[in-house]
Amino acid sequence: MRWLLSPLESTPFLEDIMKLSKRTLDVLKNFAAINENILIKGGGNQIQTIAEGNSILARATVEEEFPVDISFYNLNRFLALVDKTEPEVSFKPDTAVIETKYGRDTLRYQAPSTLLLPPGPEKIALIDGLKRVITFDLERDQLSQLLSRSNIMSVSDVLVTAEEGKLVLRAIDKNKPDTSDKTDITLGDYTGDHEFRFFVSRDNLKVLPDTYEVSIAKEGHWRFTSKTHDLTYDVASDSKGNYYRAA
């Protein structure tokens, strides 16, 4: 709580101020890169978003509990206005208020019906229920190397496969595999009895730097589950080139 002086009155009024943690700001910034629309339900601490075309579904639990429903059409605009050294916001029923050096900013919420929002619990339950056939850990440094080197090479896809008894994560252009540059991450030994190739678009790997358990369904759906935070990304893949079969 904080006592503030109303600009229209000579008496102070009491206003709820929420200080957003760096972790929450990082999650919001990352989610804004997936979709600028967002709806955060009041009375809870869960945030979720979905990309256009349903290619990425991201979910996170943060430390703050939001007091009201918060809905922005342009989340990046809100983040640009929040003071990064003192990220304090008053979330009111219809607006978010940010105190500034000489006054305040007021941002109105948009109607949820105008926003691109994640599916309901029934659809998410179907995604959660997919049977995973490949699972591996991807260390933070491995992920960073894969993304940075594949960006330099301008390759479009990421592939997981087994070669010579090793599980390999490879960035490559799947439309021209014989002539494409590529970068490999050797994840460890593979002792299974299946042959497989699962591709995902590199552009859809919009995940925060972290260590993840990666699990892949036979349908080609990739899930990244953080090993350090309550954070999950579900990433759809183009089925072209994918297969999973007995060796």
Residues 40, 19 contacting (CB under 8 angstroms): no
pTM of the model: 0.91
Q: Are 69 and 44 in contact (CB under 8 A)?
A: no
| pLDDT value for 15 | 56
pLDDT of residue 67: 95
CB 224 within 8 A of CB 217: no
Residue stretches of the chain with pLDDT short of 70: 1-15
pLDDT of residue 98: 95
Question: For position 5, what pLDDT does the model report?
Answer: 46
Would you state the pLDDT for residue 209?
97
Contacts of 26 (CB under 8 A, 6+ apart): 208
User: For residue 247, what pLDDT is reported?
Assistant: 76
